[in-house]
Amino acid sequence: MAQVRPVPSTLPDSESIRADDLRAVWPILSAEDRAEGFLLLPRDDAEEFFLELDSHDHAALLMAVPPNARRLWLRYLAPDDAADAIQQLEPEERGELLCLLDDLARNEVSGLLAYADDAAGGLMSPRFARVRPDATVDEAIAYLRRQARNQQIETVYYAYVLDGMQRLLGVVSFRELFVASPEKHVSEVMKTEFISLPEDMDQEAVARIFAQRDLMALPVLDAEGRMKGIVTADDIVDVVEEEATEDIQKLGGMEALDMPYLRTPFGEMVRKRAGWLAALFLGEMLTATAMGHFEDEIAKAVVLALFVPLIISSGGNSGSQATTLVIRAMALGELRIRDWWRVIRRELASGLSLGVILASIGFARIVIWEHAFHSYGEHYLLVAGTVALSLIGVVTWGTLAGSMLPFLLKRIGFDPASASAPFVATLVDVSGLVIYFTVAQVILSGTML
């Protein structure tokens, strides 16, 4: 066994190991040790373990096992899974794996590789149950049984009725076939009203259709109506997880990672985080510029500086809340660009309400502290009023900015998730200072200023 970093005896010294043991140490094993451990598994356990892996692990494991085992396990994958695994490899390695497939599988996988991996065509399986419209129900059932026996179909929920040009005419469930009269023709029991997916539809839109319709599989058609394959619900589970992970990472103020956290190279991790951090840092420098603009006011009333963190954090937090709510609603298809006016009215009311709540708490806090500790001087009521009115303005502005920024980004063609919470907070910090000191100039002029 190859020597790896200090993971002594991660694999038992025996002719076979348990799948549970291999799962436990899998994340810390090198590619060579993963391959060796996998080949020590009993055949049944190895098959189950192999199917549990994601496409990245499939690719790495296939390239690490000996060539004779590589052919066996690659052919064990369904065409769509094989295509996903091959897509993880460098271009020069892809041809090596494709050559290991038989002619039919190679053609199927090559066809799938022609699609973008985030489109319906890249998600689909070309192996689906198909029947002729002129076949009787008995003939159709016998034919479908042969297809299932030869592992030519991905799922047994629906059969798709195709004409000679492979155009989709209708869909019939297996249940409908089983309960129909044997002498009836398939064309008599099929449904001609069905939902289909264009082959270039984005995977996020595909996932939304599955969520809305609660279906197990959907056909994928080309521009001429020819059926190319099916997307199944289990394919969409991975898509939903991938899209949610990408949005969450962007909301955190960074580029989305292309692979799981522990597999992401250190340099790439730093690169994807440094760009956004630098941009946010430059944005926050405007805060210092704004503070410098009001240094005379701060010098005359130092007490105002005590509440700067309170003011800007409240605006940033309210903006982050709003942008998170709007981005998620967009991702679920609940909001479109044309809904911006409804959102701005709703968030204006929400911002004012939330601002009044925080203003009441801030006003009470200053009054209580003055009576308890005499911290804010004789004009404490004016200071409390300044903080309270500023909170109303800053929270309202933060809420509006946070809710509208995703609409703006989507309108100009960017991903709304790029309106990250840190980005919104930075934007509101600077404007919040301007609101705060402007209110202070109005209320405290002639007394403290």
Q: What is the dihedral of CA 303, 383, 430, 254, to 10 degrees?
A: 80
Contact 209, 196 (CB under 8 A): no
Q: Give Cα 171 to chain centroid, integer Å.
A: 31
What mean pLDDT comes out for the span 346-372? Answer: 95
The yes or no reply on domain 261-444 and CATH 1.10.357.20 is: yes
The least confident of 204-218, 236-250, 309-323, 396-410 is 236-250
> Which pLDDT band, with edges at 50, 70 and 90, does 8 fall under?
very low
Q: Give the per-residue pLDDT at 321.
A: 92
What's residue 373's pLDDT?
87
pLDDT greater than 60 at residue 311: yes
**Cβ contact 245:236 at 8 Å:** no
Could you tell me if 186 and 100 are in contact, meaning their C-beta atoms sit under 8 angstroms apart?
no
What pTM did the predictor assign? 0.71
Q: What is the DSSP letter of 257?
A: P
- Give the pLDDT band (50/70/90) at residue 328: confident
Could you read off the pLDDT of 123-163 as tens digits, one per residue?
898 989 999 999 999 999 999 888 887 766 777 788 999 99
pLDDT at 324 over 70: yes
Task: Decide if 218 contacts 197 (C-beta within 8 A).
Answer: yes
- The confidence score (pLDDT) of residue 152 equals 67
Give the pLDDT of residue 168.
Answer: 95
Nearest CA-CA partner of 29 in 68, 3, 67, 62: 3
For the chain, what percent of residues have pLDDT higher than 90?
A: 44
Enumerate the domain spans of the chain: 19-118, 130-251, 261-444
Architecture of the domain whose range is 130-251: Roll (3.10)
Tell how strand 217-221 and strand 227-232 pair up. Answer: antiparallel
Average pLDDT over residues 189-197: 93
- Beta carbons of 403 and 409 less than 8 angstroms apart: no
User: Mean pLDDT score of the chain, rounded to an integer?
Assistant: 87
Please check the confidence at residue 14 and state whether its pLDDT lies above 80.
no
Report which of 305, 321, 304, 316 is spatially closest to residue 385, judged by C-alpha positions. Answer: 304
The pLDDT value recorded for residue 4 is 36
The pLDDT value given to residue 117: 82
**Domain 19-118 - what CATH class?**
mainly alpha
DSSP count for the chain of H helices, then E strands: 20, 6
Query: In the predicted model, is pLDDT for residue 7 greater than 70?
Result: no
